[in-house]
Amino acid sequence: MSLYRFKSRETGDLVMLAPSGKHILDILGKDASSSGIIRPEEMPGAIAALRAAVQAEEAAQQQMKEEALAKGEPAPQFEAVSLRMRSAPFIEMLQRCAKAEVEIVWGV
């Protein structure tokens, strides 16, 4: 699958390139290799998991920067588009769908 298309009756489709979509689904503990569903009752946990992953990524990057600075090395370079930016539209979709009590599906 080269793209992931997340669909719901509440929002427009959210399209992600395969690496980003797979990463999001991995964080959520969902099988990225086939179609799937996120039910409204799963959405608060999904939002919390994504936010925790963002915080963990940012903390790890900050630690790497500090370690490089302490060693007198140049700061490491990270992807220009962070997990925070990639996950923001998905978190918004989850919030809207949770409020409307509708599912999010992909691969269908």
pTM score over 0.75: yes
- Provide the domain count of the chain: 1
pLDDT of residue 1: 53
Instruction: Give exposure, 3-41, as e/b (b: 16+ Cβ within 10 Å).
Output: ebebbbebbeebebeeebbbbbbebbebebeeebebeee
Residues of the chain with pLDDT under 50: none
Domain that holds residue 52: 3-106
